[in-house]
Structure formats: structure tokens, C-alpha cells
Structure 1
């Protein structure tokens, strides 16, 4: 494999180049100061941007050059380096017969509420790269990078005694997502061929399932939350149960099979919000008339989810995670299976919920669930919990289709779905 690289003198490039060379990759470095690059990488071929033709017919052009938020630059310069440069390089790569253009960004650019010059420019670059045809394009989104050396706030860890560094890193990684240089290297070398005419975006992060600090802390939070709800709100749950029973025939607690971690079926508990005649389908397919008057209030306030604290104690669910789907939602299962969403426990609330994405959009929901899988961390969980508490998202939307006269008039119910 032959890879041309821009921006190799940066933090990621300094550690990535040696690993790629150790994998047998032929490297060509491209930069504004070729002499400085030769001193830093004496075993690599180096050219300037004006000699880009030396990369003709290379397998990939990996673009690392960037102006970050911590660098002093005016908006015009940021636009030139972060937007115009990658777009121009991608077009030149296509003309030179380079098969693949790899654009590297930070996960900060995924957050559209982040209006920093860096994040805004990176999003604009992706939009413009998507319009270029005739070359395979990939966008790699990286969280904090961990390698042989540590940068940014992670550099503080290197001052600790050796025996404490690993524990400190695990603790920090549980708070925010990270990625190792080795993982970035593997991702670059293993990118499959894609026929996507736009740009294929991938989050590259280390798996939190291997982080015992994260797993222990998340489970501890789940248990403390569930027990607190039971101890503090048992009386409110009892009142809600009684009110449901009094308003319409049927049980106060609704039991329903859902798909959990590793596609295992479990029984999900909720307060019943629909007449028992409601069909066993996703909420977005259920007519609005199937929801009881009290059910509308419970769903709007999300109080119908309170019994799921029992599911958390059973370890079927977590406080934060993808919302569990029904066994008969085949499209949803296929989309989630393709994105490895079933590798983690479902949750009472999640990233998709606070963004207002529900199960009426299986592909969009599964994509958002996969983003959470890649970026899960304690700080992200706390953020989602706070947004949920503030009323972010509207929950699963019910259908706006009218029900039949018999169905809407008959409160002899069947079951609350989702």
C-alpha cells in the first residue's frame, strides 16, 4: 500500500507515520516545509505541495493538515486551510489517479451546536467534498488521541508515576471517548471499498466495553438511580398505577417483549398509556385515538417509563442507551444489526431520543445509536440525562392516522405498544 500524507508534522502525524511504515506502507509526505519534514522523518520521501504529482497513482491521500481551535488564525486563513485546501487536494488526487481521499476531523465537528471556527469549517469541508465525484472519499472523526505521547489535557497524565498512569488513563477515557494511534492505523489500512458517491463518514474510537472503570461506573450509576426512584417515588408510582386502572379497563403496568443486548429478548415494563385494543406495533404506527387521556400526559412527561427502573436493576437495560425495539420491527433490527447497536444494553433515554429521532426512521435511528456506541462516555451520559430532564426530544411519536370508529369508541383495550 502507498499512502501520501499531508500535515505529518502534527501530533497525530508524528505518531502515525512510524506505525504505517512498520506495517510496510510506502509513505510520501507532503508539506509546506519539506526540509523540516525530512529532518523529522529521514526515512520517508518528502515533497512540497507544488510537487504533488509525485503521488500519482498512490492508493490514498491522507489529509491531516489543519488549523485547530488552539491556533491563532483569522477566519480567512481557517477557511483556506480547513476547507479550500482539502477540496483542492481531493480534486488534484482524482486527477493524479489516486484512488482514495481520507479527510480527518475531530468529533467536535459532529456537534452542530458547536459553532467554533474549527467545527464550522470542518462541516463545510465535508459538504464540499461530498460534491466531488470520481474518487473514493472517507471522513474519519477522531476523539482525543492517545499514543506514545500525550497531548492537550491528557499530557497531565504523563506526570504521574508509571503505576498510576494506566488507571488514570482508564478513568479519563471513561469520562470522554478516546482513540489510540494503533486503532487509527488499523482503520486506515482496513478501509473497504465504497461506492458511496458522497463521502463516507466514520467515527474512530476505542471500545468502552473493554474499560472496566467505565463499565463499573455506569452500572453503579444505574443501580443508584433505580433505587433512588423506588425509594423516593414509590408513592407517585402507586398513584399513577391506580389512576390508570380507574380510567380504563386493563392492567396498570404493561409488559412487552423487547430486543436487548446481543439480541436477547427481555420483558420491558411501562405504565400502560394505551387502550388494550392497540395493535402490537411500533408507537409511530399506532393511531392517536389508541392513547388514553391519562396516557397522553404520561407519555408527554415521560412518567410512563418509571417502571423500567426494574429492568435496570435486572440488568436488562441501562439509564442511557438505544431505546429497545420490538421483535417484529424487522427493518429496525436489520439496521441496528448492521451498525453493531446490539452490542450495548438498551436504555430508558438515549442520544436519539434527545435529538427527536424515533423508530419511524429505522436507518436514521440506528445511525444515531451507532454514534452513541462509538462515543459513549460518562460525560455524554450525564449530558443526555440532563437534556432528558429538561424535556429534550418528544419521545416516540404516535401515528396521526385516524382510527376506525369502532376502535376509537371501544376502550376495551389490548396493549400499549412502545
Structure 2
């Protein structure tokens, strides 16, 4: 591996360069002050941007770290000049050098369209412009809070704590917001030529974070207890209204695709007429929904019987909505993007954003984003949005968005 790295003098570069060099990569560091780079990384070649096209001619990869960060006190014009125009100039120089891979590093802040800071807007524009370039394999990689041997930014206070205390505190903080160790970015970059999406989110995930898993499970069980105690009478009333309103059972049991692709039985209050075809909601006529079912779907009360699935640990309050086995396109897209490693949920990020199963690829991509950004604060935001009326389920065929 022969890699060019721009902007190596920042925190990410200082952590990343030793990892790449330690893995045997031949590096060329590019910046406005080559002498300063040579002083930071003795023994590693360095040059200015004007020499990139010539010096980088035999290299395989360019990692673009040069950026005006979101904490910089600079006018919007500076953010766009550096984060967009300078990045494009570097990409063009990489094209002239014949470098086949170009990886633009960004922050997950740029993925949030509600974030209108100059940093986020400039990085979104940079990713859009880069995606339109031809003749180079370009990707934007989005990172949450990064750390390595040390922490930076809002986590830098951890550097002043004893290691025996810093790591437990970090685990608690990492449960609240997503993080990524620099080793994960280095491993991604060292892959020969990874295929897949143009936009990648790298994170540690929460699978190994005991704090996240314990709190999430405790919240699920607390919800089960609260619904059973406070709304048990309402569930009986709903069951009776369904039975009285149309022929058929009050509870609807349906096989769904769960974690790791395992099938499980999902329980809901019946909202459609008995004998309705087993298909995705978007494929079913709105006439199939009963009058009582229409109210239940609008208020999401039809989901209450899923407390049984929560109790059995087959589902969680928040996660990708479980689909039917016959929805093969969605199942395959979720498998390809790693979504099936996640526990399904009663509500999810895609649902509160109005993305339903009528667009399998888009839904699977957003589910994958949720999986990469897992955190207690994100789960809380999704639950709050759902409680305020967003994420009311899939639209039926012919129903307006």
C-alpha cells in the first residue's frame, strides 16, 4: 500500500499516520508546510500541494484530511474555500497523478440536514461535488467522535484522568453518542480496494458496549411493565372493539424477519380485514383497513401487543422495522448492508423520517445509518419523535405521502 495523506498535522492525522506506517504502508504527507510535517513524522516523505501530482504518481490511495473544522472561528467563505474548492483541487491533482482511490474524510455532523453550520453545509457540498467526479474512485467516509491513544475535542478531559478511570467514563459517554477508534479507519483504508457504497459511516458500534446494552434492555423492560400495568385495561378494550368492529381475531400474529435473519412471530392488534393478502403494507389497498384499524394505525396503538416481543427480547423499542420474509429485496439489501445484525424495533430512524418499505434500498440504507450511529441519545430522539406523532407506519397502496 502506497498512500498520500493530506492534513496530517491535525488530531486524526497524528493518530492515523503511525497506524498506517506501522502496518507497512509507504506514505507521502502533503501540506502547506512540508518542513513542519517532516518534523512531526521523521522518516516519512513530505511535500507541498504543488508537488502532489508529480510526487504522488506511483501511489494507490489519497486520504484527504485537510479541513476547516466546525470549531474554527472563520467566515463561511473560508469553510467553502477549504472544505470544497481545496478538496476538489486535491482530487484533480490525484487524478493527474493516476491515484485510483480518493477518500474524503468528513464528520457525521454533515449527514444531518438540519445542521446548517458552515462546516456541515460545506462538507455536504464537498461530498456532492466529489460524487460527480469521473476518472477516480472517490468516496466520502463519515466519522463520529474519533479517538486513538488519546482523546480529542469534547473528550479531551479524559486525557487528564488516570487510565483506570478514563476508560470506564469513556464507555458511559460512548453509550450516549457514537465513537470510532482510529484503528477502524486505518483498517478500512488498508483494504486493497473495498467495494460497496460511495458514502461510508465508520463507528465502533455498541455491540461491545455493556453500558449501552444494559440501559437499552432496561428501557425495553420498563416500557413492557408500564404498558402492562397502566394500559392493560386499554388493551382489553381495544381487543373488544376490534372483535366487535369486524370478523376475525383481535390479535394479528405474523412471521417477520428478525435479528441475523431469524424468523419470529410478531404480534399486533389487527387493523385489516380478515383474509387480507400477506404482503407489505404499501402493497395492500387502503380499503383493507378497518375503521377501528385506521385509528389504531394513526395513533400506533396497534403496536402495543409487541410488548410480548420486547419481553422475549425479539424486538426493542427502537430499531429497523421487521419486514416479511416475502419482502426479499428488502431482506437482501439489509443483509448486504449489515442491518440484519440489529434487533428489530417498534419504531426506528427511517420511520420518523417517513421512509417506508415501498423503497427497499433507501430504507435499508437509512437502517444501516442508524446501525452505524447507534447511541442512547439517538434512541431517545427517535422515541420522542414517535411519541409526538411521527413514524406512523407504512402507507397503504395509493395513499399519499
CA distance in structure 2 between the partners assigned to 1:193 and 1:260 by the alignment: 28
Matched, 1:177 2:178: yes
Q: Unpaired runs of 5+ in structure 2?
A: none
Aligned ranges 1:264-413 → 2 under 5 Å: 264-400=262-398
Deviation of 1:335 after TM superposition, in Å, equals 0.8
Aligned to 1:10: 10
CA distance in structure 1 between the partners assigned to 2:48 and 2:328 by the alignment: 53
CA distance in structure 1 between the partners assigned to 2:18 and 2:134 by the alignment: 32
CA contact (8 A) 2:300 2:392 kept: no
CA contact (8 A) 1:57 1:99 kept: no
Deviation of 1:192 after TM superposition, in Å, equals 2.8
CA contact (8 A) 2:131 2:139 kept: no
Aligned to 2:36: 36
What TM-score do you get using the length of structure 1 for normalisation?
0.93
Between the two structures, name the one with larger relative contact order (CA 8 Å, sep ≥ 6): 1
Aligned length: 398
Spell out structure 1 runs of 4+ moving beyond 3 A: none
Matched, 1:231 2:229: yes
CA contact (8 A) 1:7 1:65 kept: yes
Aligned to 1:82: 83
CA distance in structure 1 between the partners assigned to 2:163 and 2:129 by the alignment: 45
CA distance in structure 2 between the partners assigned to 1:270 and 1:214 by the alignment: 27
Deviation of 1:193 after TM superposition, in Å, equals 4.7
Aligned to 2:74: 73
Aligned ranges 1:178-257 → 2 under 5 Å: 178-190=179-191, 192-194=193-195, 200-257=198-255
CA distance in structure 2 between the partners assigned to 1:360 and 1:253 by the alignment: 25
Aligned to 1:409: none
CA distance in structure 2 between the partners assigned to 1:279 and 1:75 by the alignment: 54
Deviation of 1:207 after TM superposition, in Å, equals 2.6
Deviation of 1:260 after TM superposition, in Å, equals 0.6
Aligned to 1:408: none
Deviations 1:238-290 (A, max 9, x none): 11111111100111111111111111111111010000121011101111100
Aligned to 2:148: 147
Deviations 1:105-144 (A, max 9, x none): 0000011111111110000011111111011011110000
CA distance in structure 1 between the partners assigned to 2:304 and 2:51 by the alignment: 64
Deviations 1:57-87 (A, max 9, x none): 3101110000112111111111110000111
CA distance in structure 2 between the partners assigned to 1:263 and 1:373 by the alignment: 15
CA distance in structure 2 between the partners assigned to 1:94 and 1:65 by the alignment: 18
What TM-score do you get using the length of structure 2 for normalisation?
0.97
CA distance in structure 2 between the partners assigned to 1:193 and 1:233 by the alignment: 50
CA distance in structure 1 between the partners assigned to 2:161 and 2:81 by the alignment: 40
CA distance in structure 2 between the partners assigned to 1:50 and 1:192 by the alignment: 27
